Amino acid sequence: MSTAVRADALITDLRDVLTGPLAEIARRFSAYIADLAPHSALVIFTRECTGRPRKVAGDPAVVDRVTIAELDRVRTELTAGEIRRETFRIAGRDREVCVMLDRTDTLLLMIPRGTRPPSAALDLVRAAFAVVATGIQLQVHSASPAYLAESRAASAERARTVAELTEAHAVTLETILATLRSKDLDDRRARITARETATEALIGLRSAVDLHRELAEEALTTAFARLHGELRDLLRHRSVELQMVAPPVGGRGLPGEVAHAARAVVRGAVLAMSGQPDVTRIRVAWNCDDSTLLADVRDDGGGDIDVAALERQLRDRVETLGGGIESEATPGWGTRVSVTFPLDLLPVSADGPALDALAALGPREIEVLEHLVAGRRNRAIAERLGVSESTVKFHVASVLRKLGVSTRGEAAALGAEAGIRAAS
């Protein structure tokens, strides 16, 4: 195969890596680079994904045991664009690994198999990984309903597991400490050693909980500051004044998926408002109490926006996380969009199956599912989406397969349970 044909095939195949559920992107990328860099296990680590920061493929002895702390240590030792093949402590023991860090601060770790690949092959892997890392970042920032559903389910499950472990181990360790502090024990050296061991274990457990919170939550002021920077860039070449009303300092952190969704919804509203020729000012305000984040966006335009269409564009992100959206356009006074997000995640058992199924669908499949929820047949869906009926039939079949159902009605019911609203 010529170099040109090979390069064309690599680029075409890379598109398939980027298409599909984000949770499975490591498996797709592992298969993509299998010939370029043979490996037995692969891990993609990014703090951008609050629900599932590790994307894994390969040997369960590695991918099921590798910890976030281990990956973080590797990440902090690399510089962007660097490739290393050396020994790091991974999955509880020292292993030879091949690692590289993208400028998005996304880490790729592989357990090599066989001889070292040529430098040219690793350079291709690095270039392909740069595209994949950017794709992950864009998916997270766009906060699609599928990503939010998968992230919420993962965050809720991890929070539940951490809470159970914390309660069980903290009680045990505190009991040990209380016993060892008792004056009834005579062996002073044994008591001191055991007490130090228990204390160290308790500190380690608390550190694990703190790490979970660091990954799963984003400080309210940090989330708002990131939004401010994004909106500044968005309006840089538009003559629109941006007024940012910051939330109160302090308070509880935002679940990561709420922070991503809130920023995406506000960006969408600001982009729509700034497109009006008579708008000179847009005001963005966030407020937060112990249970709810409120995001309010207003402009001083003529109130000519189709708010129903804007709501349809934003609603899926909001309702996937159990939130609500209200909008109004008053002629001569402007447009207002107000969104609320609950901060407390529902237990996974409440709607986990529906969320897990939704997370498996791609953007076009979710769009088709919205029409199935509305009860439309293939021809009507094709007319509304501007595609052929055979294309719709293909997507419907894919939706049924991924949701594990046999009828359109079952797919519609599952979609409604997961928060999918009927397309108008």
User: What dihedral angle (degrees, nearest 10) is formed by the CA atoms of 62, 67, 71, 74?
Assistant: -80
**pLDDT of 347:** 43
Evaluate whether the domain defined by 360-417 bears CATH number 3.40.50.10860.
no
**pLDDT of 68:** 82
**Among candidates 90, 85, 18, which has minimal Cα distance to 58?**
90
Q: What is the largest CA-CA distance in the chain?
A: 84
Q: What is the pTM of this model?
A: 0.58
Domain covering 3-142 in this structure, CATH number = 3.30.450
pLDDT in tens, 70-110: 898 999 999 999 999 999 999 989 999 999 999 999 999 99
3-state SS track over 88-120: EEECCEEEEEEEEECCCCCEEEEEECCCCCCHH
DSSP 8-state class, residue 361: -
**pLDDT of 101:** 95
Nearest-angstrom CA–CA distance, 97 and 39:
9
**pLDDT of 414:** 78
**pLDDT of 380:** 87
406, 413 contact by CB (below 8 A): no
DSSP 8-state class, residue 248: P
Evaluate whether the domain defined by 220-342 bears CATH number 1.20.1290.10.
no
Nearest-angstrom CA–CA distance, 288 and 217:
14
Nearest-angstrom CA–CA distance, 414 and 408:
10
Nearest-angstrom CA–CA distance, 121 and 13:
16
Residue 349: count other Cβ atoms within 10 Å of its Cβ.
10
pLDDT in tens, 113-123: 988 889 989 99
**pLDDT of 389:** 86
- Cross-strand bridge partners of residue 112: 39
Q: Where are the alpha helices (DSSP H) in 78-219?
A: 119-142, 145-180, 188-216
pLDDT in tens, 140-198: 777 766 667 666 666 655 555 555 556 656 666 666 666 666 666 566 665 666 666 66
Q: What angle do CA 341, 349, 317 make, to 5 degrees?
A: 30
Q: Token pair of 202, please?
A: 């308790």
Instruction: For CA atoms 383, 384, 390, 396, give the dihedral sign.
Output: negative
Q: Can you list the residues of the chain whose pLDDT is less than 50? A: 1-5, 346-351
**β-pairing verdict for 39-45 and 54-58:** antiparallel
